[in-house]
Amino acid sequence: MGVPVTIGASGVEKIHQIELTADEKAMFQKSFTSVKKTVDEIKL
C-alpha cells in the first residue's frame, strides 16, 4: 500500500502523512484486505 505524495519535475517532493483514528485504521485495513483478496483471485 502506498502513501500520498507530491510529485514534481525531480520526482517525489513531499510525502504526506495522514493521521487516522483507530476506527479509520480498522476500516482502511478491512478495505485493503478486501482489495487484496480480489486481486489475488484474479491474479493481477
Whether pLDDT at 38 is above 80: yes
How far apart, in whole angstroms, are the C-alpha atoms of residue 18 and residue 13?
16
Instruction: Read off the pLDDT of residues 1-32 as tens digits, 9 standing for 90 and up.
Output: 788 999 999 999 999 999 999 999 999 999 99
Q: Which helix (H) or strand (E) holds 13?
A: strand 11-15
Q: What is the pLDDT of residue 3?
A: 87
How far apart, in whole angstroms, are the C-alpha atoms of residue 17 and residue 1?
14
Q: How confident is the model at residue 43 (pLDDT cuts 50, 70, 90)?
A: confident
Taking the model in full, what pTM does it have?
Answer: 0.64
Q: What is the pLDDT of residue 31?
A: 96
Q: What is the pLDDT of residue 23?
A: 98
Q: What is the pLDDT of residue 21?
A: 97
Strand partners, 15: 5
